[in-house]
């Protein structure tokens, strides 16, 4: 399916080695619990915001969003569009509250406010939810890397798992935040490169891409009916509201980043930075799927292999249409 150059392999391996190196570098700073779990509350707002952004973005965004837009429309984006609306009403209250009453865990406050059962239930639900989510994220990214690099998918899961454990165990929250900054930058850069290439690959350029997208109603967030049994605008809007309440109001992965900021003002600023970065990037990867649809529906585009699924089109494009080096950077992201 592809012919990955040794330079691309080198970039991917360098990315893995860098993650381990960051964990080792920050290991000597882990002197107490506060430093390990909250970076001692000394991370600048822009870095915390970038880390929140990288936390919200995963292989689901990188693979599923382009695949969904290629096969259908932008209905999945509606969930993300609801997040800023909830955030404007939520963050001014929730961030100062958690920074005042929480030492390390969101669920400390739940116990004080609602009792031990609330703490036990919410912490167990968080752990169980993230175990299941981690399986999905690992599978998706490993499936893509297996396609790109022609490696065994189980070997990739093991290598990535060990790398993440080393990064987290040795470097603590500080290492995670700065690694998020690097990975977030790679993701943004890789996405922008793909958009530029896809806009100008078809004959006719951006105007042809937009014409095809309009003809096939690809940039749409419908249907708009009130059928709650189907994937509709209202269903995704409601889902987005509850997602935002849960993610920014109770999720330990986000609250822990509030605590890593220097003060309340920086924590609120970081939350705004995180979500205001996430929405454009979610949109960009949806647009990548639309551009892929336009590109592969033009006469001069190469044919796709038989049986290729929608969520495999973007990895196929990266493997076969991008130049050496850039391809490796995007795979590393």
Write out the DSSP string of 49-95. Answer: HHHHHHHH--HIIIIIHHHHHHHS-STTHHHHHHHHHHHHHHHHHHH
pLDDT confidence band for 170 (50 / 70 / 90): very high
Which residues make beta-bridge pairs with 261?
A: 43
Give me the chain's average pLDDT, please. Answer: 87
pLDDT confidence band for 23 (50 / 70 / 90): very high
Residues 50 and 179 sit within 8 Å (Cβ to Cβ): no
Of the given ranges (105-109, 182-186, 273-277), which has the lowest mean pLDDT? 105-109
pLDDT of 1 > 60? The answer is no
Quote the percentage of the chain above a pLDDT of 90. Answer: 38
User: What DSSP state is assigned to residue 310?
Assistant: G
Give me 141's structure tokens.
Answer: 């990214």
Give me 27's structure tokens.
Answer: 């290991």
Of the given ranges (24-38, 118-132, 274-288, 308-322), which has the lowest mean pLDDT? 308-322
Instruction: Please give the CATH number for the structural domain made up of 6-332.
Output: 1.20.1730.10
- Give me the pLDDT at residue 59, please: 66
The torsion defined by the Cα of 99, 100, 102 and 103, in degrees rounded to 10, comes to 90
pLDDT of 90 > 90? The answer is no
DSSP letter for each residue of 218-246:
-S-----S--TTS--HHHHHHHHHHHHHH
Count of CB atoms situated within 10 Å of the CB of 21 = 16
Residues 36 and 283 sit within 8 Å (Cβ to Cβ): no
pTM for the whole thing?
0.87
In 3D space, the residue among 322, 299, 320, 296 whose CA is nearest the CA of residue 310 turns out to be 296
3-state DSSP assignment of residue 104: coil
Distance of CA 54 to the CA centre of its chain: 5
Residues in the chain: 333
pLDDT of 2 > 70? The answer is no
Q: In Å, what is the CA distance from 309 to each residue of 45, 90, 195, 321?
A: 40, 39, 21, 18
């Amino acid at each position: 399916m592809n012919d990955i150059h040794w330079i691309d392999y080198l970039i991917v391996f360098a990315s893995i080695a860098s993650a381990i190196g960051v964990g080792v570098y920050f290991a000597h700073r882990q002197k107490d619990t506060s430093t390990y779990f909250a970076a001692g509350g000394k991370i600048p707002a822009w870095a915390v915001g970038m880390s929140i952004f990288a936390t919200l973005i995963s292989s689901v965004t990188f693979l599923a969003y382009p695949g969904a837009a290629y096969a259908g429309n932008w209905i999945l984006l509606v969930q993300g569009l609801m997040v800023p609306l909830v955030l404007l009403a939520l963050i001014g209250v929730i961030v100062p509250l958690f920074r005042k009453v929480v030492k390390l865990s969101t669920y400390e406050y739940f116990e004080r406010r609602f009792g031990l059962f609330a703490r036990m239930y919410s912490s167990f639900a968080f752990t169980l939810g993230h175990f299941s989510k981690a399986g999905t994220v690992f599978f998706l990214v490993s499936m893509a890397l297996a396609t790109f690099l022609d490696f065994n998918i189980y070997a990739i899961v093991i290598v990535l798992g060990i790398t993440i454990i080393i990064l987290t165990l040795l470097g603590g929250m500080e290492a995670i935040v700065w690694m998020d900054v690097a990975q977030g930058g790679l993701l943004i850069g890789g996405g922008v490169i793909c958009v530029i290439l896809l806009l100008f690959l078809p004959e006719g350029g951006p105007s042809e891409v937009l014409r095809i997208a309009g003809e096939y109603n690809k940039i749409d967030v419908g249907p708009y009916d009130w059928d709650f049994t189907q994937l509709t605008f209202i269903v995704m809007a409601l889902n987005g509201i509850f997602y935002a309440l849960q993610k920014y109001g109770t999720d330990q992965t986000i609250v822990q980043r509030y605590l890593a900021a220097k003060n309340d003002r920086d924590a609120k600023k970081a939350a705004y930075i995180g979500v205001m970065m996430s929405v454009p990037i979610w949109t960009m990867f949806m647009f990548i799927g639309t551009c892929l649809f336009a590109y592969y529906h033009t006469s001069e585009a190469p044919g796709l292999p038989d049986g290729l699924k929608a969520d495999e089109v973007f990895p196929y494009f990266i493997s076969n249409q991008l130049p050496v080096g850039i391809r490796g950077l995007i795979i590393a992201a």
